[in-house]
Amino acid sequence: MGAQGQHLTVNGTEITLSVDGDTPLLSVLRDRMDLKGSRIGCTEGYCGACTVLVEGKPVQSCNTPVWSVAGKAVTTIEAADRHPVLGEVQKVFVALQAAQCGYCTNGIMMTLAGLLSQSPRPDRAHILAHLDERHLCRCGVHARVLKAIDQLLAHSEGGLA
């Protein structure tokens, strides 16, 4: 597939980019749109550092070709101030200092924002299974992430977003 116009909506803004449709969404976000909050980790679908929301669902952007998100709504960490659940997740992570280097953290926050926005809201076990499958952290911040999840689940009992 050669370079052609790709229409995307990223954090509420519609744009058209002249880029090969097979280009990973992660590269488009980072290199074409200067949205660096989605991290370049393994680029092989294992670590989750690149996770964004597509139509509200967590997706690893490193192995998502940009053509596949044409016309869909993409949300990145940069939209935390406009996305109530993501904003809440970010607030809790900062409050708990649930990061060391923070390289894995934005991806994890995106996944949590996606899962916690679903209805019915998934339970803790489901969330952990999802994290096990798609996210890695090398600094060992897992215990704080679990604390953040518990706090977010408790909040949302009381009606998060």
Binding site for ligand FES (CB under 6 A): 41-43, 45-50, 60, 62, 99-105, 137-139, 141
Nearest CB to ligand FES, comparing residues 3 and 139 = 139
One of 25, 110, 141, 152 touching another protein (CB under 8 A): 141
Check binding of 11 to another protein (CB under 8 A). no
Q: 76, 94 in Cβ contact below 8 A?
A: no
Name the DSSP class of 15: E
Q: Interior CA angle at 98 toward 32 and 129, to 5°?
A: 85
**51-54, strands of its sheet edge to edge:** 13-20, 3-10, 73-75, 51-54, 57-60
One of 27, 51, 64, 117 touching another protein (CB under 8 A): 27
62 binds, among another protein, ligand FES, none (CB under 5 to 8 A by kind): ligand FES
Tokens at 118, concatenated = 């679903």
One of 10, 29, 49, 74 touching another protein (CB under 8 A): 49
Q: 110, 51 in Cβ contact below 8 A?
A: yes
Q: Report the C-alpha gap between 20 and 140 in whole angstroms.
A: 37
Residues that bind another protein (CB under 8 A): 23-24, 27, 30-31, 34-37, 39-44, 46-47, 49, 77-78, 80, 90, 93-95, 97, 99-106, 109, 128-129, 131-132, 135-146
